[in-house]
A = this chain, B = another copy of it.
Amino acid sequence: MFIATIWGLMNDEQKAEWLPKAMEMKAIGTYAQTELGHGTFLRGLETTATYDPETEEFILNTPTLTAYKWWPGGLGHTVNHCIVVAQLYTQGKCHGIQPFIVQIRDLETHMPLPGVHVGEIGPKMGFQTANNGFLGFKNFRIPRKNMLMRNSEVKKDGTFVRSRSDKLTYGTMVIVRVNIVNDAAMQLSAAAIIAVRYSAVRHQSQPKPNEPEPQILDYVTQQRKLFINIATGHALRIVGRWLWKTMLGVLQNISEGNLEQLPELHALSCCLKAVCTQDCTAGIEQCRLACGGHGYMKSSNLPLLYGLTTAAMTYEGENTVLLLQTARFLLKTWTQILEGDTKLNPTVLYLLNFAKPTDYRWENTNQGIIKGFQAVAAGKIKTAYDTAMKHVGAGKSQEEAWNLASIQLVEASEAHCRVIICEVFSNEIQRASNTLSPNLSRVLQQLVELYLVHWALEKKGDILLYSTISRDDIAALRIRYEELLALIRPNAVGLADGFDFRDEVLNSTLGAYDGRVYERLMEEALKSPLNAEPVNSSFHKYIKPFWEKAKL
């Protein structure tokens, strides 16, 4: 984020000064925006940067406890510079938040500079090595030219000049979110590999007398827990790649001055980041639990994967907030449709089919399920719209109505996102099928179908409400789901191997390619510092004195 911000928000002169420093790691930096009391709502940030024209400096202050910067990675011990986002005051007026580059530690001794209060925020659920930090300022002065001046400027005399659209800063956020989709998909894939391989090694129970204990991968309940996560791993990696390509196209257009697709891209990246991190977090946890007690061992690497992925549900836009961002775009689109405007963005074009009563009929096919999800999304967007309008009609303000409709809005956004994932996954595998061997193509098609049928069954309530699906259709889907599990079973380990993660990356006692699960578990246990001595110091410190006291 530090270098991306220098790249994105500095003017050319500033870049010339700072980029080399950053690239040579002389200026080690982080991006300090979030405060102890302020996350999502940027306008609420409290850190101030007040311009002093006499010395041509900004004076940084942390006026309250809640104004302390909190979370930036590396801030605790590592960095000597920060991009600090602060409320800009000049000529007695606040001009909103602006970014500043600030040296916070001595470049030789690494000591915090006078006026800087910096430290580490303490233990977390994961990311233990990120040394996330806090940062406060007391009358800390920085030169005028340390304001990042690509979009706005403060002149020597203190005059504030805004030069460029704020919209452009969406760009960085979109890139970050697209990366999160890819990371989450990779982490889920890793968890799926670990759990599938372990389930091939682990044997349990004896359903038939005098036969050996079967691999737990042969239990249908275990297949249900794992195979969907193989499919999801592929689905979201493909969606991530598609989103990246889409984004490059939009950024290209932006560079040519065409901002038209930006709202759609923003809406896409918001809901995809939210739904992918949510699905991957849930999937990793399902994989972990499918490994029983051994999944609870840190050496399985599943707890770490969980900690990493669940954090992404909160950072770079909290998921509920992001879904509401997408909902805003969807409601705008719905209003467009109601007003008879049919010039919609490509990813919401499907809504036109459901805006008026149609002769749409459910079909138990891949395309039929996708169509069903489109009907659900359209139905939910309509419900959310109607709910908001009902509250406005009852005299509520726009803001109150939005809040009162927000459950429906979040659900609409999720449903739209499910359409996108299903469509992209299905289309991209279809498109690739000519270039693949028939065998590989068939297996991938099974994963697509499993993904679609799984979600149709998961969302059968919505599909029953918003489509013409029948009870018999659902019963048939259930049977097909179980058939697919059986079809995928022989290839399950191959599919796990096919993700092509090196053992060093998986870093798991349970998931290594050679299947030496129990050996590795014991080897890791023996490394525990708590096994260094045959009698732990706690015996001499607590148990022995306790016994001696008890004897008295």
Which A residues are closer than 8 A to B by beta carbons? 24-26, 28, 34, 36-41, 43-44, 65-66, 68, 70-71, 76-78, 109-112, 119-126, 131, 134, 202-208, 213, 218-221, 224, 285, 289, 292-293, 295-299, 303, 306, 310-311, 313-315, 318-320, 324, 397, 399-400, 402-404, 406-408, 410, 459-465, 471, 474, 478, 481-482, 518-519, 521-522, 524-528, 530-531, 534-536, 538-539, 543-544, 546-547, 550
Contact between chains at A221 and B320 (CB < 8 Å): yes
Cβ contact of A406, chosen from B220, B285, B293, B463, cutoff 8 A: B220
- Residue of A204, A519, A538 contacting most chain B CB atoms (<10 Å): A204
Q: What separation, in Å, do the CA atoms of A182 and B26 have in the docked complex?
A: 56
Chain B residues, CB < 8 A from A318 = 292
Chain B residues, CB < 8 A from A112 = 534
User: How close is A101's CB to chain B, nearest CB, in angstroms?
Assistant: 19
Chain B residues, CB < 8 A from A24 = 550
Contact between chains at A531 and B119 (CB < 8 Å): yes
Chain B residues, CB < 8 A from A402 = 207
Chain B residues, CB < 8 A from A26 = 547
Contact between chains at B292 and A206 (CB < 8 Å): no
Whether A28 contacts B543 in the complex (CB less than 8 A), given A407-B221, A538-B77, comes out as: yes
Contact between chains at A124 and B518 (CB < 8 Å): no
Chain B residues, CB < 8 A from A310 = 285, 289, 296
Chain B residues, CB < 8 A from A120 = 525, 528, 530-531
Contacts A/B (CB < 8 Å), 9 sampled: A41-B206, A77-B539, A78-B539, A110-B535, A122-B299, A123-B299, A208-B397, A221-B320, A407-B482
Contact between chains at B293 and A315 (CB < 8 Å): yes
Contact between chains at B522 and A36 (CB < 8 Å): yes
Chain B residues, CB < 8 A from A78 = 538-539, 543
Q: What separation, in Å, do the CA atoms of A220 and B411 have in the docked complex?
A: 13
- Of all chain B residues, which has the CB nearest A211? B399
Contact between chains at A121 and B525 (CB < 8 Å): yes
Chain B residues, CB < 8 A from A315 = 293
Cβ contact of A25, chosen from B481, B522, B528, B550, cutoff 8 A: B550
- Of all chain B residues, which has the CB nearest A544? B110
- Residue of A122, A306, A530, A544 contacting most chain B CB atoms (<10 Å): A122
Cβ contact of A219, chosen from B296, B406, B524, cutoff 8 A: B406
User: How close is A518's CB to chain B, nearest CB, in angstroms?
Assistant: 5
Contact between chains at A460 and B471 (CB < 8 Å): no
Task: State the main secondary structure of chain A at its contact with B.
Answer: helix
Q: What separation, in Å, do the CA atoms of A207 and B520 have in the docked complex?
A: 54
Chain B residues, CB < 8 A from A219 = 403, 406
Contact between chains at B314 and A289 (CB < 8 Å): yes
In the A-B complex, list the 10 residue pairs whose CB atoms are closest, starting with the nearest: A461-B461, A207-B399, A460-B461, A77-B536, A125-B303, A123-B298, A120-B530, A41-B205, A122-B528, A122-B525
Q: What separation, in Å, do the CA atoms of A461 and B77 have in the docked complex?
A: 52
- Of all chain B residues, which has the CB nearest A26? B547
Contact between chains at A522 and B464 (CB < 8 Å): no
Q: What separation, in Å, do the CA atoms of A66 and B294 have in the docked complex?
A: 13
Chain B residues, CB < 8 A from A525 = 119-122, 134
Chain B residues, CB < 8 A from A65 = 518-519, 522
- Of all chain B residues, which has the CB nearest A405? B220
Chain B residues, CB < 8 A from A526 = 119
Cβ contact of A403, chosen from B204, B206, B207, B400, cutoff 8 A: B207
Chain B residues, CB < 8 A from A70 = 293, 521
Chain B residues, CB < 8 A from A71 = 293
Whether A521 contacts B36 in the complex (CB less than 8 A), given A213-B41, A465-B471, comes out as: yes
Q: What separation, in Å, do the CA atoms of A547 and B106 have in the docked complex?
A: 14
Q: What separation, in Å, do the CA atoms of A206 and B40 have in the docked complex?
A: 11
Whether A314 contacts B296 in the complex (CB less than 8 A), given A44-B204, A221-B410, comes out as: yes
Chain B residues, CB < 8 A from A296 = 124-126, 310-311, 314
Chain B residues, CB < 8 A from A320 = 221
- Residue of A68, A109, A220, A546 contacting most chain B CB atoms (<10 Å): A220
Chain B residues, CB < 8 A from A397 = 208
Chain B residues, CB < 8 A from A34 = 293
Cβ contact of A518, chosen from B36, B292, B407, cutoff 8 A: B36
Chain B residues, CB < 8 A from A203 = 37, 44
User: How close is A239's CB to chain B, nearest CB, in angstroms?
Assistant: 22
User: How close is A72's CB to chain B, nearest CB, in angstroms?
Assistant: 11
Chain B residues, CB < 8 A from A543 = 28, 78, 110
Q: What separation, in Å, do the CA atoms of A125 and B293 have in the docked complex?
A: 10
User: How close is A228's CB to chain B, nearest CB, in angstroms?
Assistant: 12
